[in-house]
């Protein structure tokens, strides 16, 4: 199969691309190499993909002509590209253009593909709102520009399924951790602070926030399992994550235990729209995809620490 992965130089997209190559598929990646975070990391990810035979095209989905660089015989699209997370440096226009306009342009390209078997949108637990403990049938209540625009992108994709233009599904991911995690995310930042003897900026009140910290390998297991299951997943929203909850404080303590060093904490003002609790309800994923994440928080942190040491120390 020929598979297109958007946001291929990013955290989860790069891992997914590698997995598909391992499974014997031809993979084409596209990424706009946004300076939202370190280009060094994206280039590191791209080098790993290139070594495994994945071509990563530098193009922006917001540009109407981006598709001129892509083939017309794609079998599957996995749409990871997005303006991620909750950040004071990201404007509403950033979220709107990267999450809605870019998705609409990708849909227009998908409509030209005669052999497209499935369009897989990569969603987020932020769509649910301040608490994300629900089954997919619950009405979403996003509490951030990120969540609102990711919900809009999800519905744009699923609209085409409802109109029977192509088969599509959306996978809502929960608090993914592991090697290649973005530098502003919790675990990479904690690890960096530990090794560099810097203070970790802990948002007020967040030490008790609960999260389904899910290892990236377990997420990729769920993502790739939709291949050959397109009839089963068509039109569906599916949660992917672990049912095991940990507080932010427990995450900090896990990093300290693995590295063997206490991390200094700098308390900072709470973020608006930050989720209070996420716990993945994966009953549907189990039923449709036989999904069963197994990696513990401690094993995930160990893997991420090893990656950081190998690449940044």
What domains, with CATH codes, occur in the chain?
Answer: 2-174+214-242+281-293 (3.40.50.720)
pLDDT tens string, the chain, 313 residues long: the values are: 999 999 999 999 999 999 999 999 999 999 999 988 888 999 999 999 999 999 999 999 999 899 999 999 999 999 999 998 877 788 999 999 999 999 999 999 999 999 999 999 999 999 999 999 999 999 999 999 999 999 999 999 999 999 999 999 999 999 999 999 999 899 999 999 999 999 999 988 889 999 999 999 999 999 999 999 999 999 999 999 999 999 999 999 999 999 999 999 999 887 777 788 999 999 999 999 999 999 999 999 999 999 999 999 9
225 vs 244: CA distance, rounded Å: 21
14 vs 29: CA distance, rounded Å: 9
Q: Please report the pLDDT score of residue 205 as a whole number.
A: 86
Task: Locate 49 and state its tokens.
Answer: 């993909």
Q: Please report the pLDDT score of residue 64 as a whole number.
A: 87
Q: Please report the pLDDT score of residue 9 as a whole number.
A: 97
Residue 19 CB-density burial (10 A; 0-12 exposed, 13-18 middle, 19+ buried): middle
C-beta separation of 156 from 194 below 8 A: no
Q: Report the predicted TM-score, pTM, of the whole model to 2 decimal places.
A: 0.96
β-pair type (131-132, 277-278) = parallel
Q: Please report the pLDDT score of residue 36 as a whole number.
A: 85
170 vs 209: CA distance, rounded Å: 26
Residue 94 CB-density burial (10 A; 0-12 exposed, 13-18 middle, 19+ buried): middle
Helix spans in the chain (H): 11-22, 39-51, 92-95, 102-110, 145-162, 186-196, 216-224, 230-233, 248-259, 283-289, 297-312
φ, ψ for residue 155 (rounded to 5)?
-70, -30
């Amino acid at each position: 199969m020929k598979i297109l992965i958007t946001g291929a130089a990013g955290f989860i997209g790069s891992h997914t691309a590698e997995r598909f190559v391992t499974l014997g598929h031809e993979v084409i990646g596209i990424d706009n190499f946004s300076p939202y975070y370190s280009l060094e990391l994206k280039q590191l990810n791209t080098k790993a993909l290139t070594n495994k035979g994945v071509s990563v095209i530098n193009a922006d989905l917001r540009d109407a002509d981006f598709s001129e660089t892509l083939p017309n015989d794609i079998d599957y699209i996995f749409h990871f590209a997005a303006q991620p997370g909750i950040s004071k440096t990201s404007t509403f226009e950033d979220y709107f253009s990267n999450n809605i306009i870019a998705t609409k342009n990708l849909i227009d390209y998908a409509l030209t593909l005669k052999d497209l078997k499935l369009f897989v949108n990569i969603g987020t637990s932020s769509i649910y709102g301040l608490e994300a403990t629900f089954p997919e049938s619950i009405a979403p209540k996003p509490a951030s520009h990120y969540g609102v625009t990711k919900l809009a992108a999800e519905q744009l994709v699923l609209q085409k399924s409802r109109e029977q233009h192509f088969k599509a599904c959306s996978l809502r991911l929960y608090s993914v951790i592991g090697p290649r995690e973005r530098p502003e995310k919790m675990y990479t930042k904690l690890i960096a602070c530990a090794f560099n003897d810097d203070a970790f900026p802990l948002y007020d009140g967040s030490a008790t926030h609960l999260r389904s910290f899910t290892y990236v390998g377990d997420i990729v297991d769920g993502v790739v399992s939709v291949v050959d299951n397109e009839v089963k997943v068509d039109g569906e929203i599916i949660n992917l994550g672990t049912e095991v909850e940990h507080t932010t404080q427990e995450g900090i303590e896990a990093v300290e235990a693995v590295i063997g060093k206490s991390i200094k904490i700098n308390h900072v003002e709470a973020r608006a729209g930050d989720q209070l609790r996420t716990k993945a309800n994966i009953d549907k994923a189990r039923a449709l995809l036989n999904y069963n994440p197994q990696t513990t928080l401690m094993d995930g942190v160990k893997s991420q620490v090893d990656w950081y040491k190998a690449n940044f120390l």
